[in-house]
Chains A and B, each alone.
Chain A
Amino acid sequence: MEKKQLFLFLLGLLVFAQVFGQRDSVIVLDEVILNDTKLLHFSKGTKVRVVNDSVQQKSGASLTDLLRYNSNIYFKENGYGMVSSASFRGTNAQQTAVVWNGININSQLTGQTDFNTLIPGNYEDVVVRSGGGSVQYGSGAVGGTILLNDSFTFNDGWKNSLLTSYGSFNTSKLAFNTSLGKEKTSFQIGINHIASDNDYKYLGTNRRNENGAYEHFNLNANVGFILSETQILKVYHNTFSGDRDFSGTLTAPADENYRDINHRSLLELSSFNDRKIARLKIGHLYERYRYFPNKQRDEFSFGQANTFLANYDYKYQLNKINFNGIIDVSSIMAKGTSIEKAKRNFVSGTFLFSHDLSDKLNYGINFRKEVVSDYNSPFLFSLNSGYKASKNYTININASKNHRIPTFNDLYWTGAGAGGNLDVLPETSWQVDLGQEIEIADFDFSLNAYSITTDNLIQWRPNNQGVWMAMNVQDVSQYGLEVGFDWKKKWGNQNLVWESEYSFTKSIDNTTDYQLLYVPEHILRSNLAYQYKKLVAYYQFIYNGSVFTTTDNSDSLPGYVLGNMGLDYHWPDISGIKLVLGIKVSNLFNKNYQNVAYRPMPNRNFQLQLIAKF
């Protein structure tokens, strides 16, 4: 058992979608308790990677840190720990959906997720699903979708985990997780507190990141009850509270502060038998930010949104065929300094179908239509198929039409020199994706090629009167190639895991043929972990190619190579307590780099970490 845990502690234990395909071994109860059905049955033919909790624990403080080294997403960070937005397969910040336990949690105000406000570590897994997924996951699932899944364990006793860590820039982290799994009830609470002065050096200058301190608090709490042999009730909750000073740039000092709070609550009642699963979900999402342009003063601007949602999901299995019908109803209210009370009502119907023609061949057809009070939403679909051509070789193909809807800011903004535009249309996007995977012994190769075309890209530009507003200004295309290589090897008391991925990304404006802003053509990353008895050493490497910082490609940021290194020691058990002591050096080569122009990232830094499990 301990061996297995040690092994899990290694980096990059990648589980591909096909694993979920082994339907027979998964009993319905497990499906109801554990899995996101849309991922389990209706994402075949799609590239899916799972980042497990042990990797989450050693990958820094935020979802940005985790995914930077465990996916091919490029993150634009306004300085370390500041606002962080994703570019997935060359798409923009609003074209990546973040889904919490099946619910799309991208901001209703901005349409994007700040990846520095999501704290991994307490989730059972973080899943990176590449490519279009608007049918399954709604607006913004264009470049890809990040799924955060909580788990419920029954019959598992009482388990605790305490993580403390301290390091450079006065960065401290405290995380406590406790779970209790009885026969009929499951209970889990995870709390994280992360704080840092974050006053790193701006390499090559005599200045520091003076206004970059942050403090985050995060709570995950989940309760599950098995009501009867055919019914389960689950309650999920997540609260995040962040308080950040916003870093300045190399040319301008800053005195800003930003406080945001998110509450997410979900109640799910499932009723099931051998063939069907019916779920009723009722949820509430709350987001609020307060922005202080000068933190010495009391004035702030704010925005907030409340989402009430209900969702009925009925899945039926007939031999090798799965049907799933979903009806979503939601009502969203937003207000703020620059948004007068605005309301949106939303109904959507989704139909998902998947069929295993044989053990080797499956396909799926999926549709979605939304009716929304304040804009016309396009009809969405996806088609997918997977074929296991031989014992070692699998081919996946999918095609989909996806969308990104106008946000509350896009439609309802009011203020000096800027205004919402009620005529703005949703972005629509078509894509195809072809994946191949070869598994031979300890090796695993994967190759994905994709092409995306997006019409009516929404951007803010000044109109004839010089008033800035959201407009459908551009058509853009992305195409690219992703090559993955993993190797796992075990000899006696040694273990090696090596996983690497290279991605080539073209993301172009169809009118000018220029590469879009902040999309690197080349990313290469590689993680190597080696275990000898109770010692684990790991190395994280990333090469980020050059990115353009102007739309006419007249200016760019240079590419860079980063390396991180760490060592973990698994202490012998002390009266049932397992201890893991770790040290990690980030930016080993002390590289001066930026992923947003004029916003330097940290110099070499150290972090000491102790995990106790009991």
Chain B
Amino acid sequence: MKIRNVILSVFIISLSWSCSSDDDDVKIQEPLGDYENGILVSNEGPFSNGTGTVSFISEDLSVVNNEIFKMTNEEDLGNIVQSIGFTEDEAFIVANVSNKINVVNRYTFEKIASITEGLNNPRYFTTANGKGYVTNWGDTADETDDFVAIIDLQNYTVEGTISVVLGPEAILAKDNTVYVAHQGAWGQNNKVSVINTTSNEVIKTLTVGDVPNSMQLDASGNVWVLASGKPAYTEDETAGVLSKINTGTNEVDTNFEFETAQHPGDLNLDGSILYYNLGGKVYTQNLSSSTLDLDVALEEASFYSMAVYNGRLYGTDAKDYASNGTLTVYDLSTKLAIETMTVGIIPGGIYFN
């Protein structure tokens, strides 16, 4: 299967090269690498032992290459690949249990460096103001040692840390400001930290719904934070909340409350529409609505993770968590599945390269 895919991808690449060489008049940009123009899926890998992987799917969905980091670099990424963050040319692949970030060229996947010092339970990466920022839970037994690591993007080392409240998770940059959603690690939290990347200080801590799990930045400069609410087992179940943060004032502008037993997640933005997952369905929310729309975009959609991009929805299935998962692509206009592809074990992140 894998070999077939490799042959297929080589075939396609050589085809595109041969096309471009025939055409002398038009200047065609050299391909930046085998993994340009496609979808990257980060697969967490088995829980207690082993390594996560990254899968590549070509834009036309015809080619699937699994384990592209290992194929290129002949080494393992590390245990529990939590996420990938990107700069213009590089991908930062975060291995949570291994306390390691592998830095690769995002188009060739050739390894540039690995960051192994100064991380403790790293989760997500973003870049702002010429630096990288990585959320870290710290030791899970210690609720006060959570931090955001500052990464020097020249020599790929942790150059400093910013202490934050419990359980920093999703991270997002708006110009020189970084927003961190505090899901709460193994517990629950309800904060968003606002970090000034010039002073590298937390300038504000906002309160949102309980257990904020995902964020999006819209074209008007608002940060949308989706909180799932506290789950039933806490015996203090709370409702999910969608919050809109005005990044000009850094205040919570609006809160949209769900019902108590509703625990939404996986906030996505495509154009002017927000998408999120709730109880096995995907719902939409128009950015300009003044109440929760609760319009169903897709039924029967119990995804392990999902992403929406250019009118298509990409959802993963982790199956039994001990075998290769799948990625299914849906056309949101027809609500039909276009293609399902086998990726790696526990596919947790979907990115567009």
Q: Which residues of A contact B (CB under 8 A)?
A: 78, 249-253, 293-294, 297, 299, 414-416, 419, 459, 461-462, 464-465, 467, 473, 517, 549-552, 554, 596-599
Contacts and interface: CB of A to CB of B under 8 A. Distances in A.
Interface string B308-326: 0000000000011111100
8 contacts: A78-B48, A249-B49, A252-B78, A415-B233, A465-B232, A473-B320, A554-B323, A598-B51
If over half of B's interface residues share one DSSP class (helix, strand or loop), that class is named, otherwise mixed; here it is loop
B284 interface: no
B49 A550 contact: no
Contacts of A294: 139, 141
Contacts of A249: 48-50, 79
Contacts of A550: 46, 322-324, 345
Shortest 9 CB-CB distances between A and B: which pairs?
A552-B323, A299-B141, A252-B79, A551-B323, A598-B49, A251-B79, A249-B49, A252-B97, A252-B98
B50 A549 contact: yes
A17 B302 CA distance: 54
A465 B322 contact: no
B50 A464 contact: no
Contacts of B233: 414-416, 419, 467
Nearest to B320: A551
Contacts of B9: none
If over half of A's interface residues share one DSSP class (helix, strand or loop), that class is named, otherwise mixed; here it is loop
Nearest to B96: A252
Contacts of A597: 46, 49-50
A459 B99 CA distance: 29
Contact of B76 (A250, A293, A461, A465): A250
Nearest to B280: A464
A251 B323 contact: no
A293 B322 contact: no
A461 B321 contact: yes
B38 interface: no
B118 interface: no
Interface string B41-54: 00000101111000
Contacts of B140: 293
Contacts of B97: 251-252
A549 B345 CA distance: 11
Interface string B112-153: 000000000000000000000000000111100000000000
Nearest to A301: B141
A245 to B, nearest CB: 16
Given A249-B48, A251-B78, 12 more contacts: A251-B50, A294-B139, A416-B186, A416-B233, A419-B233, A464-B280, A467-B231, A549-B50, A550-B323, A550-B324, A551-B319, A596-B49
A256 to B, nearest CB: 11
Contacts of A419: 233
A415 B319 CA distance: 23
A596 B98 CA distance: 18
A598 B263 contact: no
A461 B51 contact: no
Contacts of B280: 464
Contacts of B322: 517, 550-551
B202 to A, nearest CB: 25
A593 to B, nearest CB: 15
A155 B320 CA distance: 60
A595 B78 CA distance: 19
Given A517-B322, A550-B345, A552-B324, A251 B51 contact: yes
B187 interface: yes
B288 to A, nearest CB: 31
B49 A599 contact: yes
Contacts of A415: 233
B137 to A, nearest CB: 12
A180 B209 CA distance: 71
A464 B302 contact: yes
Contacts of A596: 49
Contacts of A467: 231, 233
B45 to A, nearest CB: 8
Contacts of B279: 464
Nearest to B235: A414
Nearest to A300: B141
A78 B50 CA distance: 12
B95 interface: yes
A462 B320 CA distance: 9
Given A251-B79, A297-B141, A599-B49, A465 B324 contact: no
Nearest to B45: A251
Interface in B34-84: 46, 48-51, 76-79
From B95, B98, B263, name the one whose CB has the most chain A CB atoms within 10 angstroms.
Answer: B98
Contacts of B49: 78, 249, 251-252, 596-599
Contacts of A297: 139, 141-142
Contacts of B48: 78, 249
Contacts of A461: 320-321
Interface string B265-295: 0000000000000011000000000000000
A57 to B, nearest CB: 33
A184 B263 CA distance: 70
Nearest to A552: B323
A467 B187 CA distance: 14
A293 B140 CA distance: 9
A253 B99 CA distance: 9
Contacts of B76: 250-251
Contacts of A554: 323-324
A294 B138 CA distance: 12
A261 B150 CA distance: 44
A554 B322 CA distance: 10
B74 to A, nearest CB: 13
A416 B187 contact: yes
A571 B96 CA distance: 57
Nearest to A414: B233
A299 to B, nearest CB: 4
A474 to B, nearest CB: 9
Nearest to B140: A293
B15 to A, nearest CB: 29
Nearest to A554: B324
A578 to B, nearest CB: 45
A550 B187 CA distance: 30
A459 B321 CA distance: 11
Contacts of B319: 551-552
Contacts of B139: 294, 297
A535 B43 CA distance: 56
From A249, A252, A597, name the one whose CB has the most chain B CB atoms within 10 angstroms.
Answer: A252
